[in-house]
Amino acid sequence: MSDITADPTSTEISNLRKDAKCYFDVESPADTICNKCGIPLSNNPRFNVDGVCKTCKNREKMAAILAPISNLFLPGMIFFGVLGLFGVISFTEVLFAIVGLSIIPITIKFIFTKAQYLGLKNNEKILSSLYGFGLTWDMGSYNLSFEMLEKVPEEERMKYYPSIIKEIGSIIVLKFNALPNGWDENLATIFNVSTERITEDIFSSTEMKESMISSGSTGANPGVLPFVANYLIKNEEEELMRKLLKTIEEVVEHEWIEDNMLEQERRLAKKWERTFFEDLLISEDELLQIAEKVEMTETLENIKGFVDEYDFPPIPTGLLEASLSPEALNAKRELKNRSQVNEKQE
């Protein structure tokens, strides 16, 4: 059980947390960041111990206690397996032992998630556990954050809103698909605002929008691009529409595939491209809206040429289309295209 350190990308997104409040005391400015995990931190000795935050200190202590126990899992499996093999214990007893041992990792994970926030008040866990989710993608930390937030009296919740929105934005830049379904509706309910306001506030800075587009182009976070595209279309932000299309086109042109690559490396590179487009989830209609708005239809043709080359399955645009097979959906789209051509000819 090793120390948790900040995701490498968090250095890149540190500017998104400019003017941050302390993630343990939202009413105090952040004077520094934790030397281990990077969480925004005040100089209050309750939360800052020689440059290391309270949660990292707790993790160190719990790792020292739980590591020897977690190390029993594999030797225990081998030990009971050998006993069963030589008939010292019955097959049923081996199964019971394996089931018992398998509970160890689950129990340790549960204890570790809870124990890292020991010594913190409920309100001090809100942002620190949400930040912890952005490091480990452990839903236990995410759920803890919202559980603690709901315990705050409604009239006091809004003081957490700017920091929550900023951190959710950073999480989206890192790994949009890690957020559970309905995360925006949940936030809207807790703060008694609309989901539209949640989206507007997340996209409040050009820097945030550009970071989302850039992170989507890496292949590690492609699911963020539809989220950005829908916002750009709705708000007609033409400069960023151009950036989005150019970002996708750069992947299409795959200039990074060098001539001196080994064949296996080239195959892996092309496989990465295909995965990128399979995860892109932006429909052709959305891309067309953007391309026509910013007069970049030639760029769109380059993108479509790549998509056609790989013959991707069509993307459903509603529940009815989602129930159709790819073949039936293709047939429906072809029929629609033919009728549109006939209408233009008439």
CA distances from 274 to 254, 313, 314 (A): 11, 12, 14
Query: Which residue from 232, 170, 185 is spatially nearest to 17, judged by alpha carbons?
Result: 170
pLDDT value of residue 68: 75
pLDDT value of residue 97: 79
Domain residue ranges of the chain, discontinuous segments joined by +: 9-67+116-152, 217-312, 321-346
pLDDT value of residue 186: 94
**pLDDT per position as a tens digit, 255-284:** 445 555 566 665 655 555 555 666 566 666
DSSP one-letter code for 15: G
Q: Which amino acid is at 292?
A: E
pLDDT value of residue 65: 78
| Separation CA 324–CA 199 (nearest Å) | 31
CA distances from 122 to 158, 187, 291, 311 (A): 16, 18, 48, 52
**pLDDT per position as a tens digit, 99-124:** 777 777 777 777 777 888 989 999 99
Tell me the pTM: 0.71
| Separation CA 312–CA 327 (nearest Å) | 11
| Separation CA 294–CA 245 (nearest Å) | 10
pLDDT value of residue 258: 53
Query: What averages of pLDDT result for each successive group of 10 residues across the chain (346 residues)?
Result: 42 60 93 90 92 92 77 77 80 80 75 85 94 90 94 94 93 89 94 94 88 75 80 88 83 56 59 59 73 84 66 60 68 70 58
pLDDT value of residue 26: 93
b or e along 325-338 (b: 16 or more beta carbons within 10 Å of the residue's beta carbon)?
Answer: eeeebeeeeeeeee
pLDDT value of residue 199: 92
